[in-house]
């Protein structure tokens, strides 16, 4: 039996907020930095937007972000 959506809202709303904040922070970081460990700015924007549900931003911070 599927759980009712109203029962899941207390879990889904904070998860959605964290996801959007992580996406915005990641895009800000990509757009304000010039160098990346792997790939280019355009590649990381595409990966971040397509893999929006945590995977894209996490991949960027693990693989693409150049350490300053």
Q: Which residues contact 26 (CB under 8 A, 6 or more apart)?
A: 48, 56, 57, 60, 61
* C-alpha to C-alpha distance for 44 and 36, rounded to whole angstroms: 9
User: What are residue 36's DSSP bridge partners?
Assistant: 65
Structurally, the chain folds into a number of domains equal to 1
Does residue 54 lie within any of the structural domains? yes
Does residue 42 lie within any of the structural domains? yes
pTM (two decimals): 0.72
39 or 65, higher pLDDT: 39
pLDDT at residue 55 is higher than 70? yes
Q: Which domain holds residue 61?
A: 38-68
Does residue 44 lie within any of the structural domains? yes
Q: What is the pLDDT of residues 2-26, one digit of tens each?
A: 678 788 888 889 988 988 898 899 8
CA torsion through residues 40, 46, 51, 57, sign: positive
């Amino acid at each position: 039996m599927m759980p009712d959506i109203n029962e899941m809202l207390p879990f889904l709303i904070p998860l959605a907020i964290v996801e959007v904040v992580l996406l915005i922070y990641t895009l800000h970081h990509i757009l304000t930095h010039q160098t990346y460990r792997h790939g280019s700015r355009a590649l990381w924007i595409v990966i971040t937007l397509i893999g929006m549900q945590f995977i894209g931003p996490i991949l960027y911070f693990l693989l693409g972000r150049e350490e300053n």
